[in-house]
Chain A
């Protein structure tokens, strides 16, 4: 069974850089595209970006200048880095799998981690 678990600080200061890691179990890193999706409190879902096994990544254009996703197959982990955080980045951050065969289909999700940006 595929399981994902996010880890990282729950509180960030404005203008600082967020670093989150997702640890994967039950799946090979070559089996999926690896996504980050976030959800501000009480609001809807927002796709941030993904990385594939070859290291190619793609991001929501409005976040592209601030976001980086990296993959560490040796540790079965992938990570998100988001610079210049503001209050608008306060959200629950989910790591998730995207099926290679069915574009966009997010089958497995982590439990999510709440990141609060304070001034």
Chain B
């Protein structure tokens, strides 16, 4: 069974631009969560989607948004990029909302 797939693996953007990251969960998994990982803050929860609805949101500004499609694939978008948005963005999929999460390899975003 294929794991969680995130694309692209690496991305370089300029301040002020916007970016869209993609996540394909494990087949059959319905819950997708996003996390930001930085050296200073560690792994921080961004948001969770289940059945195409955002179910939970972390403490991030409105520039961070996401969505989930009917096939459970998810995208997250960051608008008006800031230097501090440089991070490893990780997607995790779960069979349901209360089951263990499996992570993708992440997208390394660098904002210059």
- Chain B binds chain A: no
